[in-house]
Amino acid sequence: MRLDKFLSVTATATRSETRRAVRAGEVIVNGAVARDPADDIDENTAVVAFRGQTVTYRKHHYILLNKPAGYVSATEDSGPTVLSLLPEKYTVLGLFPCGRLDKDTEGLMLLTDDGETAHRLLSPRRHVTKRYAFRVERPLTEPEKAAFRAGLTLSDGTTTAPADIETDETGAAGVVTLTEGKYHQIKRMMGALGNRITALERVSFGPLTLPADLPRGAWRPLTDEEETALLAAAGTEN
């Protein structure tokens, strides 16, 4: 693999940044100063340092994002997408959202370039859980929560799987746990009960939990432990 491509696919630097860094003697390959960004390296064995930081090659990337309202869960759209929250150097990685959150829904979103793992995580057969904190227009009654847990028939005749729901003492806020991902599912389930969602935030997806210290609109790569747990949930362990 070319050195500039290696630094690009590891989200270390754009190719123009790599050219500037090589000219400045800021890229070290196997202990020697790199002279040409077009040099070929073995991405699996080369020891590369960029501006003093060792660069590790990964076949796939996994980004945990705290999605704000107003961003579309897509790679392209007429409005701002979740990918626009990442730096330019990430645009070449082929990242895409693993699943969707409505434009006005906030919280945990996984971005990746690993199509197989994403497909497995979203497959209904794997029953990967997704938890959402919610607020509704009026308090839910106990019979309504029981109906939610049993599965509901939506306005178009679609039947949902049972979904766990817990509320606080007001009955107007709580957490829903889904094992499927139908279009606007929680909003439609509340609609089937004659209620309306006023706030919705995804707080977990499989083994991933939204970090309390990750501000809205911020992102970070998964930790090694999170990545291992995610791949185990998908059944695609390396």
- The rounded distance, in Å, linking the Cα atoms of 147 and 162 is 9
Quick check: 37 and 25 in contact, CB under 8 A? no
Quick check: 197 and 101 in contact, CB under 8 A? no
Written as six digits, the tokens of 223 are 């930790």
- The rounded distance, in Å, linking the Cα atoms of 235 and 41 is 31
Using DSSP's 3-state secondary structure scheme, residue 86 falls into coil
Active site residue 168: no
- Among 102, 104, 164, 168, the active-site one is 102
Would you please indicate which residues are annotated as catalytic (active-site) residues? 102
